[in-house]
Amino acid sequence: MKSFMKIAAAALLAVASGFAAAGAYEDALDAVEKDNAKVLTGLLQKGLDPNTSDADGNTLLMKSARAGKLGTLKTLLGSGAKVNQPNAVGETALMLAAIGGQQAAARELLAKGAEVNPEGWKPLIYAAVYGNVEMMKLLLGGGAQINGQAENGMTALMMAAHEGHMNAVKFLVAGGADLNIRNGQERTALGIARQRSKDDIAAVLVQAGAKE
């Protein structure tokens, strides 16, 4: 009987701990949303894992980075958050800061050793999705390879052409991007621009010496 009572008590404690952990995580998410570093610090001091993530592997650091919540981002970085931990699809905090246009967050991550040229998709390519030239400048200044390719062969120049971002295309061309690299479908940036009917971008690429 005593053994049964001990087992039951242990089970109840485990359930209670699970509920407590879930509650702490929800509080942490709220703290990130409000950029409340003080509340987040308190939760971390009570034992919240700074690398806690959601079902898709997105950590609190990633959520802070993408939304540009500098207070909670700095708190997490100072509490042992893994700067290069990927989510379920391979995205890192720096990649999410790049696609979110969060330059200050990207700067903090780079200062803490964020990988600027990871395997697969690159922060620079993510910045090109929205044609964010200032973000690309920051990443290139941090050592990003201008011709870095994703698994499917896409480069930042190809992505900028694909999305029709003229300023980003001109910036990358002026920066020495290789005009004639081919992706996994054997298309160059020029070929992608023409496929997407981005005639103005195609003209710029041709003038710069690009080939299909």
- Domain ranges for the chain, please list them: 1-91, 116-212
For 1-91, give the CATH class.
mainly alpha
CA nearest to 143, candidates 121, 168, 124: 124
Rounded average pLDDT per 10-residue block, the chain, 212 residues: 44 37 85 97 95 96 98 97 97 97 98 97 98 98 98 98 98 98 97 97 97 83
Residue with tokens 């990358």, as numbered in its chain: 172
Backbone angles phi, psi at 18, to 5 degrees: -65, -45
Q: CATH for 116-212?
A: 1.25.40.20
Domains 1-91 and 116-212 share a fold: yes
pLDDT at residue 212, rounded to an integer = 81
pLDDT at residue 21, rounded to an integer = 56
Give the C-alpha separation, 65 to 76, whole Å: 11
Q: What is the DSSP secondary structure assignment for residue 31, as one 8-state letter? A: H
Give the C-alpha separation, 212 to 167, whole Å: 21
Stated pTM of the model? 0.88
pLDDT at residue 114, rounded to an integer = 98
pLDDT at residue 37, rounded to an integer = 97
Give the C-alpha separation, 123 to 153, whole Å: 14
